[in-house]
Amino acid sequence: MKSYQKLTTAQPAACQLEEEGAAPLPSGHGKLAPWWVGSGLLVASVLLSTITVWVLRQVSGGWLGPTAPPKCLVVPESHRFDCYPERRVVVTQELCESRGCCFIQSPPLAEGKQGVPWCFYPPDFPSYTLESLNQTALGMVGLLVRREKAYYPRDIERLRLDVEFETDTRLHIKITDATNPRYEVPLDVPRVMKRAENPIYNLNFTWDPFGVLLQRKATGTVLLNTTVAPLIFADQFLQISTLLPSKFLYGLGEHRGSLLHSLYWNTLTLWARDVSPTESFNLYGAHPFYLVMEEGGNAHGVFLLNSNAMGRCPGDPKPACPWTIGGVLDFYIFLGPDPNMVIQQYQQVIGFPAMPPIWALGFHLCRWGYGSSNGTWQTVRSMRNYQIPQDGQWNDIDYMDGYRDFTLDSQKFASLPSLVEDLHKHGQRYVMILDPGISSTSPQGSYWPFDEGLRRGLFLNTTQGQPLIGQVWPGFTAFADFSNPDTHQWWLENLQHFHAHVPFDGLWIDMNEPSNFMDGSEDGCPPGELDNPPYTPAVLGDSLSAKTVCASAKQKVSVHYNLHNLYGLMEAKATASALIKIRGKRPFVISRSTFPSQGRYSGHWLGDNRSQWKDMRYSIPGLLSFSLFGIPLVGADICGFSGSTSEELCTRWMQLGAFYPFTRNHNTQNEKAQDPTVFSPAARTAMKDVLLTRYSLLPFLYTLFHRAHLQGDTVARPLFFEFPWDEATWELDRQFLWGRSLLVTPVLEPGVDSVTGYVPQGTWYDFYTVRNVSASGAPQPAHPGRFHPAHPGECPPITSLGAVHTVCVPQHLSSWTQWSWPYRAHVFEPQKPGTTTEATRGNPLRLIVALSSHATAWGDLFWDDGESLDTFEKGNYSYVVFNVTQVGCGEGRTGGSHGTCIFGVQKPPSKVLLNGQEKPFSYLDNQVWPHFRVPFAGWGPQS
């Protein structure tokens, strides 16, 4: 009997071959014995299951249906993998058993809820056999053979297995058609030249049925176990199943919900879709990557390099399987062992994010509904009058003539070039929106973008070879094919023409799932298995073409069926390249649709959220998820895009949004304005104050982005990234860290005058009051942190009259950060804030030193001109490391003067020396040393 059962770490990792004449396995990669139970145990198990079924039938009123065969009764509910995943089908016993599967009916759940599958795989369901396995220079190559047909059409009989031990912490497993080429994602991935010498994992296989078992050497934890269900590899349905080592799973975007996925019989679908962020829906991007926290604090990640529509099959918290409808099974597994290292290893495959220009980290304003360039200008001037920081002014689609790309409304936005010139004179930047849908209705010869794109054949085509016509904002449109390199040149030429008139600085690419106001095209979609595949994942709208283009549409590289999830990535790549050629500086691009590696070309905003408190709360797990995906430049529309915000909500959201890596206030037309200048003086002051705090921390934030660009560090990160030994942090997503040391705990509910956040073990200082808020004791895995309420006065109430007196986003400075170095402290380099990044960069810096209990600290600062290309690669930068010990601190260049604050000094020093010279200082008896003036270098522009 073929069996698909859970393999525990207590079971042997490798056994001798038992098949007569079977080819020997390479050393260390043996065959696992089939997991069967003895006949006596089997009889007892069946008897016990039968009794249990009878009892449950009486309790449930007969919902279990007809008595199932004994082989089905031995499969526990937690291991029932769905054999009939099609939606909108009432699965009957006849339908189920026609596939050779088990049928046991379960009690119904509430509407819209999924439960235990009624139709599931029996232990002897046919799968593939590993016919041969041979050594290669980098790993192994094997042949898998299926001798019995599965239930989906055109299942592939012979598969090729490639295994590469790429690094000691990265394993690459690929399964594809052994006979015919198949579509594979055109993503540049590293090619290794040497096999890993000391991998921290063990890999084994079962031969019949084929299965993969991957274990962590140090702990024996089973990370992958695909013996629990059959492998299916048909032309349009691929499935491989495994058991997760814990319920703590993150990633698998883009979805709205908690950071930690609730996986109890829930399905997660990956298919890019234009829809306002809503729970349970597939949203704008597709990221088939997950991270799992293991018992003890280790972590691993799995990346399926596949761009077809896919979903995670429902199960109890531990079973997992991706269903995908095309391509190949191309897995990268990252062994960490800590979560930071997992994300770094993932980005070594997909690419590290680009270094943004520093002005991208300032505050941005936008709305759909300024009405004119004069209306836009009025908002800019009002921000200046109140001296509220702002770096970027944006326009939504209302700047266009008839919503057509590369055009300008000559009546309402005639003075836009003058506005942009004024922004540049004041050290500010201009960003405009672009959509990929190109109007197709203008008279021939009157709209160059469409005429030229048509002439060059640069649009998505129907199966008949004609441009596919859909409908977006300008009406009927064609869709640019960014898989075609010629389209990139056409895109560049269009942008060059517009830039000559309106010298924009950055681009916002929207509607690039691609979005379509009709399903498929003006003529619908043709019959066929691309638009109507044998299996369609649980996509919103129940169709691959729902509010997008036909899956059968033809593109340069492949059909849209394969490229849909890549559309936003390909447009971002073309847009970033065009900006570099036009401006000769670092590109700034914000995209709605994303795919792995997108961080190399763009940032992301979380889409068209609503002006609701829950939308603000969900923004935190949203930005943390995209940190996992290698897109650190991320944020939500502050105060909400749709609907009208309240003063209280907008103030609280600004206080949170000031700590998004990308911070922009944006709202829709026909709603009240929500920029800081339109609110009461108290609210306006609170918003201004928190933006000034952000601008003062720009050197710290900029250095975090440098580390992300250089080695794949996260910028905003979950608490468990720094405290993986503390399981209390594994479910926290209402707080987050900037880097290792700045903890942000925002107010997320209305009408409150306090906030309670979790403070991990260690020494912490409140950023504003300099009060010690530490969890007591030295950090130890057995001694977690504690929940800490804000002190009175830190979170004053916001009344119905809008009385706001101070910022209520407690930030805590950590005096230690990395759990493997529990007493490591941090040095911050805040700067006197200006109203733009350009003005701020001309101000002096000071140091804030948060000492550990051992009176040590460490920090670093990366500084360059803020916008030139490849400054690190060319060596055009300054990098300073600060080390603080009990007896002194690191040296720096001299010149300029500003203060240094040292937190945690236990007793007054007798004197303070800088480069051997005594300096004045002051000491406060609350263990804070705030007024040590240090001569140090000025870090102005170009330094």
Q: Which residues are catalytic?
A: 510, 513
Which pairing describes strands 663-667 and 637-638: parallel, antiparallel, or unpaired? parallel
Q: How many angstroms separate the CA atoms of 508 and 510, rounded?
A: 6
Contact 935, 896 (CB under 8 A): yes
- The helix-helix angle for 698-711 and 681-696 (nearest 10°) equals 50
Q: How many angstroms separate the CA atoms of 881 and 799, rounded?
A: 45
Which pairing describes strands 475-479 and 470-472: parallel, antiparallel, or unpaired? antiparallel
In degrees, rounded to 5, the angle at the alpha carbon of residue 139 between the alpha carbons of residues 133 and 145 is: 30
| Residues paired with residue 812 on neighbouring β-strands, in sequence order | 743, 766
Task: Indicate the burial class of 499 (C-beta count within 10 angstroms; 0-12, 13-18, 19 or more).
Answer: middle
Cα torsion through 565, 569, 570, 572, rounded to 10:
150
Contact 547, 274 (CB under 8 A): yes
**Distance between first and last Cα of the chain:** 72
Q: Which of 273, 282, 277, 283 is nearest to 516 (CA)?
A: 273
The DSSP result for 850-889, as a single string, is E--TTS-EEEEEEE--SSSTTHHHHT--EEEEEEE-SS-B
Q: How many angstroms separate the CA atoms of 23 and 130, rounded?
A: 10
Contact 397, 669 (CB under 8 A): no
Place of tokens 């073990």: 761
Token representation of residue 688: 């201004």
Q: Which of 725, 726, 721 is nearest to 739 (CA)?
A: 721
Burial code (b: 16+ CB inside 10 Å, e: under 16) for 403-425 equals bbbbbbbeebbeebeebbebbee
| Residues paired with residue 324 on neighbouring β-strands, in sequence order | 238, 310
Half-sphere exposure (Cβ direction) of 617: Cα atoms closer than 13 Å: 13
Q: How many angstroms separate the CA atoms of 596 and 735, rounded?
A: 25
Q: How many angstroms separate the CA atoms of 931 and 589, rounded?
A: 41
For 181, 824, 932, the CA distances from 848, given in Å and listed in that order, are: 58, 15, 10
Q: How many angstroms separate the CA atoms of 483 and 555, rounded?
A: 7
3-state helix, strand, coil in the chain (%, to 5): 20, 25, 55
